[in-house]
Amino acid sequence: MTIEKEPVEKHAVATDVAQPEWSAVPPRQERDRAVWLVAAGALLAGLLFVVVDVHYNGGRYIPSLDDAFIHLQYGKQIGRGEFLRFHDGEPISTGASSLLYVLVLGALHAVGMHGGLLMPAAVLLGIVCHAATAAGVLLLGQRLVNRTTGRWAGALVAFSGPMLWGATSGMEITLTAFLLVATLLVVVREAPTAVFRWTPVLAALAALSRMEALAFLAVLVPLMMHACRRRAGLARIGAMAWCLLPFAVVGAQLLFYRLATGHASPNGSQSKSLTSIPHFNLGEFVGKTSENFSQFLQILSGLTRQDFVLPGALLLAAVGVVALTRHDDARRYVGLTIGLGTVLALGAISTMGTALWQQVRYLQPFLPLFLLATVIGIGAVVGWLRLSGRAATAILLVAALFTAVSVPLWAHVMVVESASIRERLVSLAAWAKGGLPEGARLGVHDVGAAAYLSGHPTVDLVGLTTNDLAEPALNGMGSLYEELRTLPPEKLPDYVAAYDAMPGGIELDKLAAAGVYTDPVLATPQITVWKTDWSLFGSGDQPETPVQGRIRDRVNVGSMDSERAHDHHLDAARSDFPPMTELRTVDSGGRRMVDSARHIWGEEEFTLHDLEPGRPVHLIARHDASGPKGGFYTGMREVRVFAGDVDLGKHELVPDPKGWNESVIDIPGHLVTSPDLTVRMGATQEFVGPYPDYKSFGYWAVQ
């Protein structure tokens, strides 16, 4: 199984292009007929996964991811002429993680796959793409090395548990995998002539299927451009420009997003990227990205209980990559693309906060080529150590045994996850279809099934399919509430479905304590549906403290728009401290007020605007300092106030059982030298703790 040339038929090429001695394209009569067996096996295995799912879900197919319903909803809308509009008449949104996939689903809907047919069509498409991927890996292994390598690699892909899970998930996983394999198959055919007609097209389609695919194929573009240098004159310039097609297509996609939504970054990236975490910190970003990358390496090494690959696969794949890159022909293209491309793709995925979620599905499209490199690595090791062919067969049999054992485990994972989707989201959609008034808008944070199955318009409170809610949702319920205040009344959700005890920042159940909900209309052990009450919008905008003068400016802490307008900045005591926002309802003096707050542990700074120079400012501050005990290492209730660079002394934040307290900070008129004034709520002592620890609701500048 060492990499060696096989006798091939010479093909005629253009006279101005040199033909290498080695060609990677075997004559048609020598191609391995086992490709049909591998494809059939992959197809049958995928269908068996579907049968298992249907059996355990009472005769109906339920995908293991709610995201599948999101894509189906976009596909249905595209098929009806509502391009990227999640509901009729809504603005274009970018909640689908794969533009190409929803276009394909839209085409299926347009040709008649309506109603209950679109989901089976999507799953069948995934299974067919899986079979084509396995067959493509077989052909690629055959063309790069020999027939035995291709057969083993194709079979391992065909019966890979993760790939079968992905094929039946209703997602774009196997479509992307197929396009990646097809790209390398075509580049192997076109590289000897240095005429790349179809490779850039397939690479562009792969990039439209998943953004990470562009990172994987990025190294292939300069390799093709370098090969095009052998051509002469304008032909060389045109050929090199054509190689840039994948970058041009993705650039056009992002430009369209920018023009249509105001954000070049898709909503999914905004809600999942580590760069979107509240108060981005470079060190924390690097640390979490590195942690994700390390976890991926462990998974690909087979050192976790994920049953993703055989133990030692990462090392064997690295050997396979080295074996390919030792050759000065198209095999080097493939080796460098698999090796460097995998590293780049893993790096891109690692920047996502959800990188390891959902059975590491973002990694799955790259698995077939990784398995091919692993099989090539086994053959290379056996050859370099001068072992017999039986040694390679034994190792591959162990890999096959590992694969066979893991397949039922992945089927079980699929069943458990699909049952969870059925019990929560599909059941919610079924109830909403008949239990909510016609036209009622439902707020959710897993929006797919609710939108696709219930027939009701939805508000995606995570921000995938509803624009401009992703970043506020990541900052907590206070920021989400403030952003919802900016929506037109007819766009607000009439009901909200919240998971009980939902971990993380999207804790919609906590809005119940903030006067946003009335009594629940549905309560299950997992989900509560509340009727919403937005009548308290703006109730906390005015201070309780009597105003002696005119309010010149207000810093509404928790509102990200107000924070940006006032250059609000938090210098956290620790880089791993998440300064989340929350909502608080207070009853005082016969008034019921709701206001948002951000948790401050460290120092807070902001700039007041529209002040009258020379006049003193009475700064009304609303805080809650009931959490920490004064002087304890967990935090303190005193701050040192700075107006500009002038120290105004210490200010005590007095707790109040009702939920917040207001105090007044006097700023002398001689410090107000312009309409803008920067105020800092600092620590009482430099560098060392304890640091101020409080909830900041906002400030009113009165003159």
**For residues 19-48, average pLDDT:** 72
Q: Is the pLDDT of residue 672 over 80?
A: yes
Element (H, E) at 651: strand 646-652
In a domain, 1, yes or no: no
Does the structure show a pLDDT above 80 at 203? yes
For residue 14, the model assigns a pLDDT of: 26
**Res. 109: pLDDT tops 80:** yes
384 and 440 in a common domain: no
Domain presence at residue 578 = yes
Q: Is 689 exposed, middle or buried (0-12, 13-18, 19+ CB in 10 A)?
A: middle
- Is 425 a member of any domain? no
pLDDT, mean of residues 417-443:
93
With respect to residue 23, please indicate whether it lies within any of the assigned structural domains: no
Looking at residue 507, the DSSP 8-state letter turns out to be -
Whether pLDDT at 65 is above 50: yes
Q: Is residue 133 part of a domain?
A: yes
**Confidence tier at 5 by pLDDT (50, 70, 90):** very low
Instruction: Tell me the pLDDT band of 576, cut-offs 50, 70 and 90.
Output: confident
The reported pLDDT for the residue numbered 631 is 58
Residue at 683 is within a domain: yes
Q: 24 vs 102, 223, 348, 469, CA distance in Å?
A: 34, 17, 31, 50
Domain boundary among 532, 560, 595: 532
| Whether residue 641 is found in the same domain as residue 501 | no
Task: Name which of 207-211, 381-385, 386-390 the model is least confident about.
Answer: 386-390
Are residues 276 and 249 both part of a single domain? Answer: yes
Q: With bands split at pLDDT 50, 70 and 90, how would you rate the model's confidence at 17? A: very low
pLDDT tens-digit map of 464-523: 999 999 999 999 999 999 999 999 999 999 999 988 655 554 778 778 778 888 888 988
582 and 689 housed in the same domain: yes
Give start and end residues of each alpha helix (H) in 84-228.
Answer: 99-110, 118-144, 147-158, 161-167, 173-190, 199-209, 211-217, 220-228
Structure tokens at 217: 């194929």
Whether residue 521 is found in the same domain as residue 570: no
Number of domains in the chain: 3
**14 in a domain, yes or no?**
no
For residue 169, pLDDT beyond 90: yes
Same domain, 286 and 158: yes
Please determine, for residue 651, whether its predicted confidence score (pLDDT) is greater than 60: yes
Residue 154 Cα distances to 135, 330, 474, angstroms: 6, 20, 42
2-16, 529-543, 618-632 — most confident range: 529-543
Is residue 621 located within the same domain as residue 518?
no
> Quick one: what percent of the chain has pLDDT higher than 70?
93
**Could you tell me if 524 and 563 lie in one domain?**
no
Q: What is the predicted pLDDT for the residue at 31?
A: 61
Average the pLDDT over each of 244-258, 262-276, 344-358, 369-383 and give the range with the smallest value. 262-276
Taking residues 365-370, what's their average pLDDT?
A: 97
pTM of the model: 0.90
Check which CATH number belongs to the domain holding 614 and give it: 2.60.120.260
Q: Name the band, by pLDDT with cuts 50, 70 and 90, for residue 12.
A: very low
Whether 108 shows a pLDDT value over 60: the answer reads yes
> Which among 592, 582, 590, 488 is positioned nearest to 540, based on CA atoms?
592
- pLDDT average, residue stretch 390-418: 91
Q: Check pLDDT > 80 for residue 1.
A: no
List Cβ neighbours of 9 (8 Å cut-off, separation of 6 or more): 23, 26, 27
Residues 669 and 608 in one domain: yes
State whether 327 and 181 are in the same domain.
yes
- Does 373 share its domain with 457? no
CA distance 555 to 482: 13
Same-domain status, 176 and 298 = yes
- Domain ranges, residue 221: 33-414
Q: For residue 481, what is the enclosing H or E element?
A: helix 477-484
Q: Is residue 176 part of a domain?
A: yes
pLDDT digits (tens, 9 = 90+) for 171-200: 999 999 999 999 999 999 999 988 899 999
Better-scored residue on pLDDT, 2 or 147:
147
**Between residues 393 and 675, the one the model is more confident about:** 675
How does pLDDT run across 589-636, given as a tens digit for each residue? 888 899 999 999 999 999 999 999 999 999 999 999 987 766 555 677
- Does residue 395 contact residue 378 with C-beta atoms inside 8 Å? yes
